[in-house]
Amino acid sequence: MNHPAIEQPATTVARLRATFATGRTKPVEWRTGQLRRLRAMLTERGTDLAAALHADLGKSSTEAYRTEIDFTLREIDHTLDHLQEWLRPEPAPVPAHLGADATAWTQYDPLGVVLVIAPWNYPAQLLLAPMVGALASGNAVVAKPSELAPATSAALAELIPAYLDTDAVAVVEGGVPETTALLAERFDHIFYTGNGTVGRIVMRAAAEHLTPVTLELGGKSPVFVDRGADLGVVADRLARGKFLNAGQTCVAPDYVLTDPETAAALEPVLVRAVEALFGADPAQSPEYGRIINERHFDRLSGLLGSGRVAVGGGSDREAKYIAPTVLADVDPASPVMREEIFGPILPIVTVAGLDEAIGFINDRDKPLALYVFTESDATRSRIAAETSSGGLGYGLPLAHLTVSDLPFGGVGESGMGSYHGRYSIETFSHRKAVLDKPLG
């Protein structure tokens, strides 16, 4: 069935709720069918999405496929491979006073109509990957792409209805007014990826209907570089993780903590790592992206004076280009350390050692990720035991969110709830307790 291109949010939600009430989305065959259709969309029209991502963020085709299209394909394939196993009822022991003939188990029930609100930095992946879990769980889905990535939003609004069940999946485009109207409706779950300011708005709106929420937020994800770490490896992996998508990644390394001697030795190695990735002039590199818009460009430009420039520092407002930049001698009270950077600026802050680094991290909001470069098992153990973060990565930034069997999510200011793989089923389902006592 084809529906009008423009539909009021209340009408959209009511229509999807009516579909869900028929039981249409509950059979495993419908769920896997939708995932296969989504897979077909990505394989058949991936080049269209890659072109839209380049238009919005300057992403190369290689980066668009690696971080958005192929990433989502892996999530789909992993879910298709394991869905029957994940949905299998799980027996529970029954106490003796209920009798030997009583049995108990838990089963996953779909929630109903789910709203997924995506951000602009990975506008395809961060809309579609949550949808994988929502559809696999048997829900109807309202998908809200980011208006700040207009080319990708338009592409998704065209492609999703062409491939998925339009009676159970709808795309709502628009900005703040459309999102506000959606949030006034009653959903059975809201999944939001973005910043804490809007996260609070989402949570307040959800509270009106006692709607559960998953909030995937951000924060300043620290990096601790221990004495004796192989700085060549550290610099290469730091540069790749930090400057991917021009630093506009929620789990990007936000700042580096290390002792003064290691900081001095790390600087020139980072300079070489940036040049190895993007050449002498990153502005000419087809692999280096651009800032999403002028507002974020202006915000980031204002942070460039927060320290001594070790590499980079150049910018071009018309091109929305900010060079991959490393700042040294950064004061912890400087502007670049007051908020999540979300751009291609990497400050280095010196600390006396591990004790001070742990204290520095714990004095601030709990981050979405924490990265540690060390050869010391004792250091690894202390970091794990004495800090709190959404995820913890030893030796390699960003990689933990590519492991489908790990939950991805934040804690405290960096979010609540998690997803990926079977954790998406837990997020988008209700685990129902069932007891059976025969009448005889």
Q: Which residues are catalytic?
A: 216, 250
- Two tokens at 433? 């307790």
Region of 90 (left: φ > 0; alpha: ψ -120 to 50; beta: rest) is: beta
Beta strand 391-394 pairing with 369-373:
parallel
* Separation between Cα atoms, residue 136 and residue 33, nearest integer Å: 9
Question: What's the rounded Cα separation, in Å, for the pair 254 and 370?
Answer: 9
CA 114 to each of CA 31, 125, 131, 132, 357: distance values in angstroms, whole numbers, following the listed order: 14, 17, 9, 12, 40
* Chain mean position to CA 26: 27
> Cα-flanking dihedrals φ and ψ of residue 169, to 5°?
-135, 130
Residue 29 has a CB neighbour count (10 Å cut-off) of 8
What sections of 208-335 are H helices per DSSP? 231-243, 260-278, 294-301
Among the listed residues 406, 412, 379, the one whose alpha carbon sits nearest the alpha carbon of residue 394: 379
